[in-house]
Amino acid sequence: DRTRLLLKPVTGRSHQLRIHLRELGHPILGCDLYAHAEALGMASRLMLHASRLELRHPRSGTWLVGECPPDF
């Protein structure tokens, strides 16, 4: 069974989402660092993708937004 999630990182710490999901018993598929063997084998690559990125331009201060279609 698989579920698509919308996750919003809070702190920006490295691997925050991977670690929290593993601790909840739901590792990210294809994660070679934190997933158990079964979850690792369920995907040919890491199933963690940004669907939207927002950042403020360092000079103009305007917001830049990029959106991507769902990968899967």
At 4-39, the pLDDT tens digits run: 888 888 887 889 999 999 999 999 999 999 999 988
Query: Which positions ≥6 away from 60 have C-beta within 8 Å?
Result: none
Mean pLDDT of the chain: 89
Q: What is the pLDDT of residue 56?
A: 95
At 39-50, the pLDDT tens digits run: 889 999 999 888
Average pLDDT over residues 48-68: 92
Domain ranges of the chain: 16-67
- For residue 44, CA distances in Å to 6, 29, 32, 59 come to 21, 9, 10, 40
Per DSSP, the three-state class of 33 is coil
By the 8 A CB rule, do 17 and 34 touch? no
Query: Which positions ≥6 away from 9 have C-beta within 8 Å?
Result: 16, 17
What's the pTM value of the predicted model, to 2 decimals? 0.71
User: Which amino acid makes up residue 49?
Assistant: H
